[in-house]
Structure 1
Amino acid sequence: MTTAAPTQDADLIDSRYRAPLVILTSTEHPPSVGGPEPGEPPVRDDTGGAPGEPAPPAGSVGAPGVAGSPGSAGAVGTAGAAGAAGEGSAAEGTAGAAVGWDCSVLAVVVTSVDGAAVVGEQGRSACARVGADPDRLIENEAFRGDAGGVLVVPLSRSERPWRLFLLGVGAGGTADWRSAGAALARRGGTRGRPFVVAEPDAEQIYAFVEGFVLGSYRPADAVTGATPEDAVTGTTHEAGTESAESAESAPDEPPAGPRAERILVLRTERAENPALIEAVRRARAVADGVCLARDLINMPSLVKTPRWLADQAVRAASRAGLGVTVLDHSDLVSQGFGGLVAVGGGSPRPPCLVTLTYDGPSTAGGRTPGHRVLVGKGITFDSGGLSLKPSVSMASMKTDMSGAAAVLGAMVTLAELEVPGKVTALLCLAENMIGASAVRPGDVITCWGGTTVEVLNTDAEGRLVLADGLAYAAATLAPDQIVDLATLTGAITVALGRRTAGLFSSDDTLAGELADAAGRAGERVWRLPLTEEYRPAIDSPVADLANIGRALDVNGGSITAALFLREFTVGLPWAHFDIAGTARADSDDGEISRGGTGWGVRTLIAYLAGAPAGEQPT
């Protein structure tokens, strides 16, 4: 694969990764339409296609229709569509002709009961249709059906499918199904369109589709600089073989590129169930928001200036029906946003403040939730400023705007999910660089609202831009709750590692709502204390506050940073997520992708929607 550097005017919104198409069907996986039945010799058709394989009928994917209608495959969403994910459509003609004709992977779900792998009746029937004995495979390979476990079996067939996956879902919990979806995406590769035989409920199918979409993620062309002709291939390992490269690259497979059509076909007896169709639609929408955040985070900072990020936010928000305004550098100076102006002062690429507004419907009872305000840290690159970072720490600093990306990814999803109530988001965007006009250690700045801050370390800049956003929100937006997300401190990674975010809150009710939302969303958080004895550490003899602890040697850098932010919330219910550990990953792991993870999008949506995953919020 060849790539080129992204152009500095790259536009992400049109080319970004979109959730794969998901089709629900109640038909069996056909060996072919008009082709051989099991046990009969294959027949090559007259079109030059695969043996016994029909050409797909016109409108087989994405044609107009009603999702889940009888005798058709409910196609939930449109792969690669520029519009909102989750549009209803259906395949025309008979389901057998439209569904699964080009699926090269047959995946059969296996549960684990008391340590033993169990295949359901429909799964056994599917295995029999391709000449496989699941019990013998499970016994020979000692497969236990653990969540995310995959037993890959090459099939000696001239027609699709060419591979059989036994896909473990463990005990069948929501997290197990999410792991299974991600494992299927990663093991199937970009060319292995899977036909999955399973009988999940609404919550399970939500988690499975979400895991599949997130596990399928590939950075957008605008991020990698890839050309449309570039191919992205995947590798996997088979049971009893060293590699499945040859199995993945079957001669009749169409070429797959970064923008190749991605399809998941899920066979269930309840394909027409509205709850399942709605769960799939919602899962795709939420995962699509995560993928938007990932693409923004992964964009190199050569392109990702504060203005560029603001422009992408404007385009994405406008398409989602949100209100949007942008304050540029002159607006920030004239209106007193001293934190943003100071942090961005060393860069020739000036700071911005983006405001997004969403007014959702009332709840079923006619009530509306209070006004929720989200604030995201958006440092498009963090050199540390004059308090320069070591080079090894600077390498990943294009991801220092992950909080703002997560907030944007959540906001553009709200309308599609019909989330109730009013939500406002502030994206605090700046670049922290060295320059003649950069803020210096020892400078005293005035944040929005008049609070003065002694800057003792210019690498503690995130709290300065958040201070402006929090103070502005508290004083002008009349919020009932404020939640901020920021890659704020390295200390949180020392305390909680790379898979758990720190949660700080001045309000127990809000903290409980957020922790519950994170649990339902599959994102791990741990609440940490706002230790009052540490508050004097951020006192300053020359200003209202110091931006790092100096008065007391208490350490606890994440706690003192959260205490600093609390000073700008004027006693309102407020919570802070420190996502410095969870926002980025060094390798793929389940639904987590290497690079920007988009952590926080799912938690914010679950919090704002206030309903279990897979269920409507209203």
Structure 2
Amino acid sequence: MFPIRLVARPGDDRTRVMVVGPAGPLATETDSAAELSELCRSADTPGRAGTVQVLPRPLRTPAKVLAVGVGAADEAGWRACGAAAARTAAADEPLAVVLPAGAAPDAVHGLAEGLWLGGYRAPGGAKTSRTAEVELVVDDPDRYADGLDVARAGASAAWLARDLTNTPSSVKNPAWFAERMLAESAGRPGLTATVWEPDRLAAEGFGGVLAVGGGSANPPRMVELAWAPSGATRHVVLVGKGVTFDTGGISIKPVGAMQLMRKDMGGAAAVVAATLAVADLRLPVRVTTLVPLAENAVSGSAYRPGDVITHFDGTTSESTNTDAEGRLVLADALGYAVARLAPDVVIDLATLTGANAVALGTRTAALYSHDDELARALFAAGEASGERMWRMPLPDDYAEYLRSDIADRHSSPAQGGGSVTAALYLREFLGDRADRWAHLDMSAPSWASAADGELSKGATGWGARMLLRYLSA
């Protein structure tokens, strides 16, 4: 990521970013105050969060001022301001953002996070990520140092999650992802990474992972990351769906639906990125992260509609749709988490269904949980980070749709809401931890078709910053 630093005085050679509220400038410099005030008066929407007005100043220093709206000056407004500034300025254009005297610490947190998120571009695209340094001009740099460090950790997690998800599946197979996690964890003291090879998956009974990955020339894996600091009083297990490409299997997807299936491991990207950030910040919470990895391909060895699959916990699933593969790999990991890890809380993230987008659109994930306290904490973390979610029902009568004539349960029933029944299916593997579990169906918000606020076109990294907020609380 490009550097951001706190300073008391801006460099003369930098484009100024002046912050504007609905009533006018919140912070100015004497030589441009009158011009900026006039610019705000003539603007259509002065001060709305993320709006930008450009003030050229030929033959003067600075030669250009960006007046960027911060709205109500809450953290979301500052985040929108930073993202807009990063997107408007050239990638190699140094900036100095002038904050008002006595700004709240959340201002620096939101602004820096927005700058880093808005300055991201997918690797290999027509535009490169921002490279030039940004100065945040504040009255007391030491006061805001912690907020900048936390923003850096969250933005770094989002950048990594976006990079992983944007990586083409011709590169990103299960072995590649596992090797990347070994490399990332190696430089973080106290964080351990274990890769489960196919032989171990078979010996331990991970039938769902093996079935989904059985049709590919790239065998499946599972990654287990463990952060266990001394004195930690709670143990959170994170599980992320890691299907590195999804053809739909024998129940093959149409071309349009298959085109972006490199994003089908967005849940895995989010949970590992959040865990690495936890280690960077050395948070006093124990975190174990499980990432079942498979490529759902079509071949003579692919699993078939109507197959019965035996999972880690010994129960069986009938699969009549091989495109409902994500829940099969999650089922093994969830069963393992409950049986072996003694978690206090289990949270899974998955690009599981397109059905949630019908109800919630493209910016909001579906949250399922029986635990009101856990649901409130995740919802609050999502609101604070700008990664929204909405709580959905888990009606017990819909569980009847999971009944199978030939197995313990049916993985993909035709009846009922697709996102709801998928969540109910996963609940079957939680045992006595079902009342301390949350499932986030985040297929739609994992991808942006165009740049929007702090989102760049492509992978959004949805969930990484939200999880870090939750784990930091």
| TM-superposed deviation, 1:571 | 2.4
- In structure 2, the partner of 1:146 is 48
- In structure 2, the partner of 1:137 is 39
| TM-superposed deviation, 1:409 | 0.6
Between 346-355 and 328-337, report the one with greater CA deviation: 328-337
| TM-superposed deviation, 1:142 | 4.1
Which whole-Å CA distance do the structure 2 matches of 1:589 and 1:443 have between them?
Answer: 42
The letter for the 2-side match of 1:489 is T
Question: Within 5 Å, which residues of 2 pair with 1:164-243?
Answer: 164-199=65-100, 200-220=103-123, 224=124
The letter for the 1-side match of 2:30 is S
- In structure 1, the partner of 2:140 is 270
Change (3 A) 1:259 1:170: closer
Which whole-Å CA distance do the structure 2 matches of 1:519 and 1:126 have between them?
Answer: 38
Paired residues, number: 468
Among 297, 304, 311, the residue aligned to 2:179? 311
Change (3 A) 1:134 1:320: same
Percentage identity across aligned positions? 43
- In structure 2, the partner of 1:577 is 440
- In structure 2, the partner of 1:284 is 152
Q: Is the 8 A contact 1:298 1:595 kept in 2?
A: yes
Which whole-Å CA distance do the structure 2 matches of 1:291 and 1:145 have between them?
Answer: 28
| TM-superposed deviation, 1:288 | 0.4
Change (3 A) 1:441 1:212: same
Q: Which has the higher helix share?
A: 2
- In structure 2, the partner of 1:598 is 461
Structure 1: which 5+ runs fail to align? 1-17, 30-99, 227-231, 234-257, 363-367, 611-618
| TM-superposed deviation, 1:495 | 1.2
- In structure 2, the partner of 1:22 is 4
| TM-superposed deviation, 1:314 | 1.1
Deviations 1:441-486 (CA, angstroms, capped at 9, x unpaired): 0010101110100111000000000000000010001111100000
The letter for the 2-side match of 1:271 is P
1:485 matched to 2:346? The reply is: no
Deviations 1:278-298 (CA, angstroms, capped at 9, x unpaired): 101110111001100100000
1:371 matched to 2:276? The reply is: no
Deviations 1:390-442 (CA, angstroms, capped at 9, x unpaired): 10000010000000000111011112222112110001100000010000000
Question: Within 5 Å, which residues of 2 pair with 1:357-506?
Answer: 357-360=226-229, 362=231, 368-506=232-370
Q: Is the 8 A contact 1:124 1:134 kept in 2?
A: no
1:586 matched to 2:449? The reply is: yes
Deviations 1:77-127 (CA, angstroms, capped at 9, x unpaired): xxxxxxxxxxxxxxxxxxxxxxx2442x11111111xxxx3224x514252
- 3-state SS of the aligned residue for 2:444? coil
| TM-superposed deviation, 1:597 | 0.5
- In structure 2, the partner of 1:127 is 32
- In structure 2, the partner of 1:118 is 24
The letter for the 1-side match of 2:205 is G
Among 194, 197, 220, the residue aligned to 1:328? 197
Which whole-Å CA distance do the structure 1 matches of 2:42 and 2:211 have between them?
Answer: 65
| TM-superposed deviation, 1:513 | 1.6
The letter for the 2-side match of 1:123 is T
The letter for the 2-side match of 1:215 is G
Among 176, 188, 208, the residue aligned to 1:339? 208
- In structure 2, the partner of 1:237 is none
- 3-state SS of the aligned residue for 2:240? strand
Q: Is the 8 A contact 1:310 1:354 kept in 2?
A: yes
Q: Is the 8 A contact 1:107 1:194 kept in 2?
A: yes
Which whole-Å CA distance do the structure 1 matches of 2:41 and 2:357 have between them?
Answer: 42
- In structure 2, the partner of 1:36 is none
Q: Is the 8 A contact 2:36 2:55 kept in 1?
A: no
Which whole-Å CA distance do the structure 2 matches of 1:142 and 1:430 have between them?
Answer: 51
Which whole-Å CA distance do the structure 2 matches of 1:269 and 1:287 have between them?
Answer: 24
Change (3 A) 1:261 1:592: closer
Q: Is the 8 A contact 1:382 1:397 kept in 2?
A: yes
| TM-superposed deviation, 1:493 | 0.8
Q: Is the 8 A contact 1:111 1:169 kept in 2?
A: yes
Change (3 A) 1:585 1:261: closer
The letter for the 1-side match of 2:185 is A
Q: Is the 8 A contact 2:121 2:457 kept in 1?
A: no
- 3-state SS of the aligned residue for 2:445? coil
Which whole-Å CA distance do the structure 1 matches of 2:370 and 2:432 have between them?
Answer: 8
| TM-superposed deviation, 1:598 | 0.3
CA RMSD of aligned residues (A): 1.5
Q: Is the 8 A contact 1:320 1:413 kept in 2?
A: no
- 3-state SS of the aligned residue for 2:112? helix
- 3-state SS of the aligned residue for 2:30? helix
The letter for the 2-side match of 1:333 is A
The letter for the 2-side match of 1:196 is V
- In structure 2, the partner of 1:563 is 424
Between 167-176 and 339-348, report the one with greater CA deviation: 167-176
Deviations 1:482-529 (CA, angstroms, capped at 9, x unpaired): 000000001011111100000001322211221121122221110001
Which whole-Å CA distance do the structure 2 matches of 1:374 and 1:259 have between them?
Answer: 29
Which whole-Å CA distance do the structure 1 matches of 2:129 and 2:116 have between them?
Answer: 14
| TM-superposed deviation, 1:592 | 1.1
Between 318-327 and 482-491, report the one with greater CA deviation: 318-327
Among 217, 220, 224, the residue aligned to 1:348? 217
| TM-superposed deviation, 1:139 | 2.4
Structure 2: which 5+ runs fail to align? none
- 3-state SS of the aligned residue for 1:575? strand
- 3-state SS of the aligned residue for 2:450? coil
Q: Is the 8 A contact 1:111 1:171 kept in 2?
A: yes
The letter for the 2-side match of 1:213 is W
Which whole-Å CA distance do the structure 1 matches of 2:20 and 2:182 have between them?
Answer: 45
- 3-state SS of the aligned residue for 2:182? helix
| TM-superposed deviation, 1:161 | 2.7
The letter for the 1-side match of 2:120 is Y
- 3-state SS of the aligned residue for 1:303? coil
Q: Is the 8 A contact 1:108 1:126 kept in 2?
A: no
Larger radius of gyration: 1
